[in-house]
Amino acid sequence: MRRRDTIKTLLVGSLAGGAILTGCDPDHNADLANEEGLPEIDGYGRTGKEILRDEQLNSTEYFNEAELSMLAVLCDLILPADEKFGSATDAGVPEFIEFIVKDIPVHQLPIRGGMMWLNNRSNSEFNLEFAVCSEAQQKSLLDEIAYPPEDEEVEPGPGVVFFNLMRNLVLTGYYTTKIGIESLGYKGNTPNVWDGVPQDVLDKHGMSYDKEWLAKCIDQDTRTDIAEWDSEGNLVN
């Protein structure tokens, strides 16, 4: 099984277990924004304070250009494009990570320090910065920290800790975007058609549906028909 397929398998179950709630009542959020004198964005699914915080975070920069370039390379090595769907950078994952480290500063040092560690390792091994190494060289370095020897008595090194954090951020960023959701084939909560217990199962247990009761049930063949009422409120169709 390919790496990308393995990731999909792990994530489908977790996504199917719940839904992401984003602004159940946009009007309520808009009222909060107006009452507090804070900015309002239609349909954004944020309170006024959250909108203001997002604006403040987006107005600052944490990574420099070289770090962002290296971050993009790392993201696409962890989750590359396939024949149908784009890569991590196509889904805007580097920008997501940039936002996260500003929103959750505890991640700043591990990510920046980890990239410095990886550059030092790359310079020692190939006399090149990680971002300009060949893909084969880059993967050989990542394999050392992505698949370390399993030894419960040995604490994971800084490279392993860094890569675990990066991998988690990349997957979180990717599979919470439209591209990522589509690549999983996840459709969310969708209505289905249930025609009752199959006849062979009923026969096996000597059971049957009462015809009078069935007549009161919804006819699945007409479930998309729109009900009609007369002027006195009586159901016509």
Burial class (CB in 10 A: 0-12, 13-18, 19+), 88: buried
Of the two residues 38 and 208, the one the predictor is more confident about is 208
> Higher-confidence residue: 17 or 65?
65
Asked if the structure places residue 227 within a domain, the reply is: no
Residue-range definition of the domain harbouring residue 97: 3-184
Cβ atoms of 129 and 122 closer than 8 Å: yes
Q: What is the pTM of this model?
A: 0.64
Q: Do the domain assignments include residue 174? A: yes
Assess if residue 201 is contained within a domain. Answer: no
Any domain includes 209: no
Greater model confidence, 143 or 226? 143
pLDDT over threshold 50, residue 21: no
38, pLDDT greater than 70: no
Q: What is the CA radius of gyration of the chain?
A: 26
In a domain, 208, yes or no: no
228 belongs to a structural domain: no
Domain count for the chain: 1
Write out pLDDT tens, residues 172-209. Answer: 999 999 999 999 888 777 777 777 888 899 999 999 98
Kindly state whether residue 212 falls inside one of the protein's structural domains: no
Q: Is the separation of the CB atoms in 174 and 80 below 8 Å?
A: no
Between 188 and 26, whose confidence is greater? 188
pLDDT recorded at residue 11: 53
C-alpha–C-alpha distance, residues 154 and 142, integer Å: 19
